[in-house]
């Protein structure tokens, strides 16, 4: 039996949080050494763009959230807060990406990277906590079994379109990033 759609999203949160932890560790490294692990930060951007936004947030924004908004006004209020947090998180990633090419020679660029990694690592666990403890239980109450099965099928279709091999790659990347680099 396949996992319910909310259980799938919860499992994806575990991976996102592994990368968030790696981001927090990178902030400590930058502040301590004045250097940036540029390759690791590039991998964090890749993971966030293609897994967190490209897969996980797309399932939420295109499939789960509209369904809940249709069903319940109170879910609609929660969803609009969650959407604005997704957008704030994307802003952080855009700022990090824009500064990364200058990280080696510019202290200001390193500062922007550290600040935005820190903000992302602050916002995301709170955001994920809200989804896990408020939105997903509400979804489980609002959607009956056939609706949940339909949503799970839509999730599977979305993953197929984005390439299942890609998903495996990002699972592995989360585990790679969760391992602190030598010298961190």
Closer of 40 and 127 to Fe ion (Cβ) = 127
Nearest distance, CB of residue 60 and Fe ion, angstroms:
5
What is the full DSSP assignment across the chain? -PPPHHHHHHHHHHHHHHHHHHHHHHHHHHHHHS---HHHHHHHHHHIIIIIIIIIIHIIIIIIHHHHHHH-HHHHHHHHHHHHHHHHHHHHHHHHHHHGGGTTT-HHHHHHHHHHHHHHHHHHHHHHHHIIIIIHHHHHHHS-HHHHHHHHHHHHHHHHHH-HHHHHHHHHHHHHHHSPPTT-
Nearest distance, CB of residue 131 and Fe ion, angstroms:
5
Closer of 19 and 113 to Fe ion (Cβ) = 19
Number of neighbours of residue 160 by Cβ within 10 angstroms: 10
Which residue ranges make up the site for Fe ion (CB under 5 A)?
A: 131
Closer of 26 and 131 to Fe ion (Cβ) = 131
Nearest distance, CB of residue 64 and Fe ion, angstroms:
9
Closer of 18 and 114 to Fe ion (Cβ) = 18
Nearest distance, CB of residue 59 and Fe ion, angstroms:
8
Closer of 53 and 147 to Fe ion (Cβ) = 53
Query: Which single residue brings its beta carbon nearest to Fe ion?
Result: 131
Nearest distance, CB of residue 173 and Fe ion, angstroms:
18
């Amino acid at each position: 039996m396949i996992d319910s759609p909310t259980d799938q999203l919860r499992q994806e949160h575990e991976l996102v949080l592994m990368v968030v932890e790696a981001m927090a560790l990178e902030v400590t490294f930058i502040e301590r050494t004045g250097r940036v692990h540029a390759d690791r930060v590039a991998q964090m951007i890749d993971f966030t763009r293609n897994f967190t936004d490209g897969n996980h947030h797309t399932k939420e924004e295109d499939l789960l959230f509209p369904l809940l908004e249709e069903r319940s006004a109170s879910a609609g209020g929660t969803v609009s807060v969650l959407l604005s947090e997704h957008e704030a998180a994307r802003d952080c990633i855009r700022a990090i990406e824009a500064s990364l090419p200058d990280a080696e020679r510019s202290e200001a660029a390193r500062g922007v990277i550290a600040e935005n990694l820190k903000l992302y690592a602050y916002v995301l666990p709170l955001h994920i906590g809200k989804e896990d403890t408020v939105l997903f239980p509400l979804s489980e109450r609002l959607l009956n079994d056939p609706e949940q099965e339909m949503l799970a099928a839509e999730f599977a279709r979305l993953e197929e379109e984005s390439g299942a091999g890609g998903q495996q790659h990002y699972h592995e990347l989360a585990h790679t990033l969760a391992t602190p680099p030598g010298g961190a």
